[in-house]
């Protein structure tokens, strides 16, 4: 069953009022997390740019930096944190989805929950669980790149 959080249950990171007890439970790491998230965004953006240059180069296409920036598009950090649940069978996760952007950089923890869809030759699909490697970066090709270059 696919279950996603309703937008009203999400908290935009730019407007978190510290000290609000209703919101504090979602950010147990305290002050300073914004700076860490921005540094992660900066470093992961460089990784994405380098990967795109390699992928585009392997397709025989030359792009200057201004076009790479356009291909990258919107840059953001999305954080999902779920406090421990006494009944894990009833937990709500992000749900099955694809990433709309070009490239997604995921920082893994020890919890897991990453699945990839394998498309079989007979047209059937299977979701495979990817075991986490704590601290590893997982690079996902998003819809924007997959759709554009799927037939090449």
When divided into structural domains, the chain yields a total of 1
Structure tokens at 132: 């986490």
In a domain, 34, yes or no: yes
Q: Please, what's the b/e burial string for 97-119 (b: 16 or more CB within 10 A of its CB; e: otherwise)? A: eebebbbbbbebeeeeeeeeeee
The pLDDT tens digits for 8-47 are 555 555 544 455 555 555 555 666 776 787 788 888 888 8
In a domain, 138, yes or no: yes
Mean pLDDT lowest among 61-65, 101-105, 113-117: 61-65
In a domain, 10, yes or no: no
In a domain, 4, yes or no: no
The mean of the pLDDT values for the chain is 74
pLDDT band at 124 (very low <50, low <70, confident <90, very high): very high
Full-model pTM? 0.61
Tell me which residue range forms the domain holding 82. Answer: 17-149
pLDDT band at 52 (very low <50, low <70, confident <90, very high): confident
């Amino acid at each position: 069953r696919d279950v996603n959080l309703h937008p009203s249950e999400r908290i935009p990171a730019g407007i978190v009022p510290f000290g609000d007890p209703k919101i504090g439970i979602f950010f147990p790491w305290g002050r300073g997390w914004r700076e860490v998230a921005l540094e992660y965004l900066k470093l992961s953006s460089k990784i994405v740019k380098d990967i795109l240059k390699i992928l585009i180069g392997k397709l025989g296409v030359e792009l200057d930096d201004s076009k790479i920036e356009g291909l990258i598009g919107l840059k953001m950090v999305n954080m999902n944190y779920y406090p421990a649940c006494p009944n894990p069978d009833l937990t709500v996760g992000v749900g099955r989805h694809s990433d709309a952007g070009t490239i997604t950089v995921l920082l893994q923890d020890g919890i897991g929950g990453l699945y990839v869809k394998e498309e079989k030759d007979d047209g059937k699909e299977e979701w495979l669980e990817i075991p986490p490697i704590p601290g590893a970066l997982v690079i996902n090709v998003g819809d924007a790149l997959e759709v554009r270059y799927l037939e090449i």
